[in-house]
Chains A and B, each alone.
Chain A
């Protein structure tokens, strides 16, 4: 189900991913996650509204 990503593609994508992850690390510093925010966010939803995947 999860075959390897070919080396050529990995080489191409690695700098893009590194930039994305380092941008996210900077966000984690700007807006620190605390134990109070330990729960995973659940999007707003009305139980009766047919909010199904």
Chain B
């Protein structure tokens, strides 16, 4: 069931928000013990909120498309009176006395909060294998990672525990779990969704966005989170760039084939698919990494004496950030401007760029290396290779499911649009997902 379908049933009196909450709690009971998507489930608060919303709707008060819809927040988004851990031992007992702006906006839109989803420690990693709150598992294969850092949100949405979940993305942390869990996920244009009340990681790279089972649901979530809708400019025929370089190297064969199929389907829907050569993505990735390591070290500087409270991987990254000389960080920021100019030239000739979200399907939990084109490649570096550049640039990027491997693991298509044209991405994504095989999790 989609958000629109649930909303129609609510307004027709065929379903209540209270029943939607009970359905959601049943799914949590069924899947959460094995998959560990949630750190905190707020069942009583959700039941109480649903009763209020049902009462309001029966009295003609309708908050809009999200009225009565169960959702979850990634557990680094401040929620008043509800523990907000950031997946870290540092904040294991932290109960904020205010709501993040994005939490306020979704609450005002009538969404029902079911709880807080698990994440990679401090949102600083892609496995969601958390040393303090346990391993989050992929619903399509529980020996695989769900991706991260918003792994719990991806799992909660994919399994129908909630319709919508928030995520954050500093180097792929919305798009990677969306791809690995078979959901849609939008990293909006930098700044479209407020970061007030969200634990920072990379100050100039952090983005907040929605994950949902369909692009339409993702768009509904985004509109509420951004709080302002801009109509997408008409671009006909839509020009889609399909890279001839970089994105075809060190890619799993089935992933490549699924993305090429999505491009063929797009052409069938009337888009003009054109081959393009992308600028120096490796430079963008390295520059982004320098900035992330430095900014994360700054964000966690007040806590560095508490070394024993960090997991080994996160501590190593924070230490690495502290070792980067200041001029290197400053020059990385200057480099960023030059790289942006190169991408502006590319996007002057296209409306969207298609790439795989991840070069590889979900790896196994604990797997450090994967073989691609006969070479052994580091899992973390490979998984972030196609997504990280768009945090540096601030461009909006949407991941949607575009197929499955022969092992029944989901494959994600990444669509990148012009800055502040998130709506173009979502509109086209809605159209394309109708043409792609429907993802249904059982």
Spell out A's residues near B (CB within 8 Å). Answer: 1-3, 5, 9-10, 12-14, 16-17, 20-21, 23-24, 27-28, 30-31, 33, 37-41, 43-46, 48-53
Instruction: Collect the chain B residues with CB atoms within 8 Å of residue A28's CB.
Output: 331, 335
Closest 6 CB pairs of A and B: A51-B191, A50-B194, A45-B191, A41-B336, A41-B337, A43-B394
Spell out B's residues near A (CB within 8 Å). Answer: 101, 189-196, 200, 203-204, 226-228, 280, 282-283, 286-287, 289-290, 293, 301-302, 304-305, 315-316, 319-320, 322-324, 328, 330-340, 394, 419-420
B195 touches A53 (CB 8 A): yes
C-alpha gap A45/B227 in the complex (Å): 15
Give the distance to chain B from A39, nearest Cβ to Cβ, in Å. 7
18 A-B interface contacts by CB (under 8 A): A1-B305, A5-B322, A5-B323, A10-B319, A13-B316, A14-B323, A16-B320, A17-B323, A17-B324, A20-B289, A20-B293, A27-B282, A30-B283, A33-B335, A40-B333, A44-B420, A49-B191, A51-B195
Give the distance to chain A from B185, nearest Cβ to Cβ, in Å. 20
- Which of B227, B280, B302 contacts A31 (CB under 8 A)? B280
Instruction: Collect the chain A residues with CB atoms within 8 Å of residue B191's CB.
Output: 43-46, 49-51
Known contacts: A1-B301, A2-B322, A31-B283. The answer to whether A46 contacts B420 by CB under 8 A is yes
Sample of 8 more A-B contacts, CB < 8 Å, known A9-B319, A31-B283, A51-B192? A2-B301, A12-B316, A38-B334, A40-B337, A43-B191, A44-B191, A45-B394, A49-B192
A51 touches B334 (CB 8 A): no
Give the distance to chain B from A50, nearest Cβ to Cβ, in Å. 4
B335 touches A27 (CB 8 A): yes
A45 touches B190 (CB 8 A): yes
B334 touches A41 (CB 8 A): yes
Instruction: Collect the chain B residues with CB atoms within 8 Å of residue A37's CB.
Output: 334-335, 337-338
Instruction: Collect the chain B residues with CB atoms within 8 Å of residue A10's CB.
Output: 319, 323
C-alpha gap A33/B330 in the complex (Å): 11
Known contacts: A20-B289, A43-B191. The answer to whether A31 contacts B335 by CB under 8 A is yes
Instruction: Collect the chain A residues with CB atoms within 8 Å of residue B101's CB.
Output: 50
A27 touches B283 (CB 8 A): yes
Instruction: Collect the chain A residues with CB atoms within 8 Å of residue B337's CB.
Output: 37, 39-41
Please name the residue on chain B nearest to A38 by beta carbon: B334
C-alpha gap A27/B287 in the complex (Å): 8
Instruction: Collect the chain B residues with CB atoms within 8 Å of residue A48's CB.
Output: 228
Give the distance to chain B from A12, nearest Cβ to Cβ, in Å. 8
